[in-house]
């Protein structure tokens, strides 16, 4: 009787390892992916940042891996690099080099930047062929000139958040159409820090592979 009771208790308390996701479009712990992304915003808005009339183009790549998953949710950590960041700025007074008797106006220009987002999280909902998601990213960018105005800073910090839809193919590679609220500012590194806020629409393509 004791042996029967012990075996029954052991069977009830033994932890069963989690089963892998069986859906074609689901992911398992450790699965990895490489993504290329390009996004554009035709103008900036006043919110956290106050600089207006700034266009933003951002393109780059990301490496991600699954850190938490079940049959309903998949959380990925994302490392991003953006070798192509362009901010188009209108003409503005160059306060750094102007004097009361000699006001210098800097002409309209497009300024290049190189940056990265080493802190990123992406949460996919469900395991179907079309999956909604939300994400957030943070990093920094170095421009070839002060952005967003003269006498601000070439070094700026970035963060963004948003969401969209991921469209999977039979190979588990996917296309993404998404939106991000994107913020750039120098966190008072420069003399002036007006910041830039953009509503960005982007597309991306992802190559996925199973983890080891």
CATH classification at residue 188: 2.40.160.20
Residue 92 burial (CB count, 10 A): 18
Structural domain contains residue 138: yes
Rounded to whole angstroms, the maximal C-alpha distance in the chain is 102
pLDDT at 168 over 60: yes
Structural domain contains residue 19: no
Which are the contacts of 176, defined by CB distance < 8 A and separation ≥ 6? 35, 37, 133, 164, 165, 166, 167, 202, 203, 204, 205, 206
Structural domain contains residue 16: no
Structural domain contains residue 145: yes
What tens digit of pLDDT does each residue of 90-143 get? Answer: 887 776 677 777 777 777 889 999 999 999 999 999 988 999 999 999 999 999
pLDDT at 13 over 70: no
Structural domain contains residue 198: yes
Structural domain contains residue 50: yes
Structural domain contains residue 6: no
pLDDT at 149 over 90: no
- Give the residue, 205 or 6, on which the prediction is more confident: 205
pLDDT at 54 over 70: yes
Give the structural domain span for 30: 25-209
- Give the residue, 40 or 23, on which the prediction is more confident: 40
Q: Closest Cα partner for 138 from 88, 194, 77?
A: 77
Counting the structural domains of the chain, the total is 1
Residue 22: its pLDDT value, please?
54
Size of the chain, expressed as the number of residues it contains? 212
- Chain centre distance of CA 119: 8
Structural domain contains residue 20: no
């Amino acid at each position: 009787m004791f042996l029967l009771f012990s075996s029954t208790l052991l069977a009830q308390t033994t932890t069963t390892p989690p089963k892998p996701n069986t859906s074609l479009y689901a992911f398992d712990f450790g699965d990895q992916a490489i993504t290329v992304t390009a996004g554009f915003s035709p103008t900036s808005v006043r919110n956290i940042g106050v600089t207006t009339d700034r266009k933003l183009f951002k393109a780059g790549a990301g490496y991600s891996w699954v850190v938490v998953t079940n049959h309903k949710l998949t959380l990925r950590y994302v490392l991003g690099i953006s070798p192509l960041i362009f901010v188009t700025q209108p003409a503005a007074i160059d306060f750094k080099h102007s004097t009361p008797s000699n006001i210098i106006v800097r002409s309209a220009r497009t300024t290049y930047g190189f940056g990265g987002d080493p802190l990123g999280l992406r949460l996919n909902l469900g395991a179907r062929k079309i999956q909604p998601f939300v994400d957030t990213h943070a990093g920094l960018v170095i421009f070839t000139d002060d952005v967003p105005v003269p006498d601000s800073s070439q070094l700026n910090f970035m963060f963004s958040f948003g969401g969209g839809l991921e469209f999977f193919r039979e190979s588990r590679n996917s296309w993404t159409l998404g939106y991000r609220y994107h913020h750039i500012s120098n966190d008072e590194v420069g003399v002036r820090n007006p910041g830039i806020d953009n509503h960005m629409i982007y597309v991306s393509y992802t190559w996925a592979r199973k983890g080891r």
